[in-house]
Structure 1
Amino acid sequence: MDFRIFTEPQQGATYDDVLAIARATEELGYDAFFRSDHYLRMGDGDPGPGPTDAWTTLAGLARETSRIRLGTLVSSATFRHPGVLAIQVAQVDQMSGGRVELGLGAGWFAREHEAYGIPFPDKRFGILTEQLEIVTGLWGTPVGETFSHAGKEYTLVDSPALPKPVQGGDRPGVPVIVGGSGPKRTPALAASFAAEFNASFPPIEEIPERFARVRAACEDIGRAPESLVYSVALVMCVGKDEAELARRAEAIGRDVAELREHGVAGTVQEAVDRLGELNEMGVERVYLQALDMDDLDHLEFVAREVVPQLG
């Protein structure tokens, strides 16, 4: 099982804050550092310095880390033209030496679009579908050939489809992550375009069913279901005792009982048991959401006490 750290910098973090937790992620042996792609704090509280742009941040981290993989969970298809996004992500992949992954979704947070003047159409699934077609199409076009696309949302004519990401293989380009809870269209998109399907903050009991729908969608198009990675994102809140657990829960404004029910939370043994349960459900990768970005001791504690027990 892979363990990745996942953060929410829009809640109030500078680039230096993000860099500190990314470096800790690398030094402590986690597999990857991911961040959200949002432009507005969610909920009440001090917004601090305001948001940082996800792909600008990842470009910096690409040069200031050396091992961990880097990516978004997830970028909103409403934020960037797919041609521009393909260039940005390919460039960051080059800057990192081939360590980048792109999580891409339809977007959902209307208020951040309103705050920064970003259009937020009611129907966005078609936008996401075409963005996946275009981004993967640009990356997969052989060097020396051009790429064109004529769709309802976007038109590209004879694009040189450059630059190329460093990463290649059977599905050339940066690995794409698709997630969501939709019963039909989301699994179909994952089967067609993704290297990974992610269930973000699902009810634990729903995970097997969500994975089964994606596997069925793969079989429908003749793709081997095992060619995808199946992952979940869950909040992390673990303590050496009840007092430390309560302190960490209070710091992120969450209830201990709720965290125990829905997250990787509780004592060390509870966290180990939850991760073992996820593994039995077919989860291959876990994104541990670290909501208190200043609590680097939390990352160290989980890396030392929990992760080694999952062997």
Structure 2
Amino acid sequence: AKAILNNDYETVFKAGIHHILSEIREDLTAFGTEYDDWFSERHLIASRMVSTAIEKLKQANMLYQQSGAWWFKSTAFGDEKDRVVIRDNGQMTYFASDIGYHLHKYQQGFDKIIDIWGADHHGYIARVAAAIAALDQNKDKLTVLLVQFAVLYRGKEKVAMSTRSGQFVTLRQLQQEVGKDAARFFYVMRGADQHMDFDLELAKSQSNDNPVYYVQYAHARIASVIKQSQQRQRAIDVSLGKQHLEKLNTLHEQTILSTLSRYPEVVEKAAINYTPHILAHYLLDLSREFHTYYNAYPFIIDDEALSQARLTFIKAIQQVLRNGLTLLGVSAPESM
């Protein structure tokens, strides 16, 4: 390409990069994901971050030369073997770029650094941690989350994908087929380290078997009850409802009250352990309990005190469902 384009190569290259990144940004924005900073490897090298990191390692006597290449003493920090950072032809390795990248992150003074890698890079953790320690940085600030691959299905049929043959489903195609809410919820239902089978047909179905539909339907059902109470001149009086919460004494109500009380703990645990899937499963459990409750008891009844207690109760359930869905970047519809 360089030989054909000559002086125009850089212009064409930059135009291509700009177009591809613009497409990626659009897809991620539509998915509800926005990055504050986009960082290229070219910038890493051009700004001499990599060479600075390599020089620091040389000064710390953490590199040695062998067969024309420069090696990092990774085994001194628990890695299984030493790693090449500069090849015998003078070219820096990808590992050298990773060292420079992480040094740059540490120099910005972050309290916590989280890397998200594919599960096939598991063996890379030890060498990166070793480089961080060799640069006299606190490797405990770094957390690496390994993400397993997703397998797409249409019902029982596996969707063929291969990067080598150029067969794959893009994020844009996925969202166009199942929608943003289903795509996000299905992805977040599994822990990052768990394999995921993504059933496209299930994600599009409007049935209780579809987890995102099931949770959103619980929220919409409550909205419908609240609307009915207003139409029947029995609008919710939260103040009155709170005065009679002792009337919520059925097994269904006590079970849901217990579940509601766990919400702050679930959110905190999900955040601390980087496990948002536990919030998704919590919302499923709460929705399941509500649907059972909805089918068992009426809410708009002649007993005003009990009616207001139940209406206030389900409004609280709706609030927790909405809060949880919002944290996961999923909408909470008022009707379905």
State the TM-score, normalized to the length of structure 1.
0.30
User: Higher Cα Rg: structure 1 or 2?
Assistant: 2
**Structure having the larger proportion of residues in helix:** 2
- Of structures 1 and 2, the one with the larger relative CO (CA 8 A, separation 6+) is 1
Higher strand share: 1
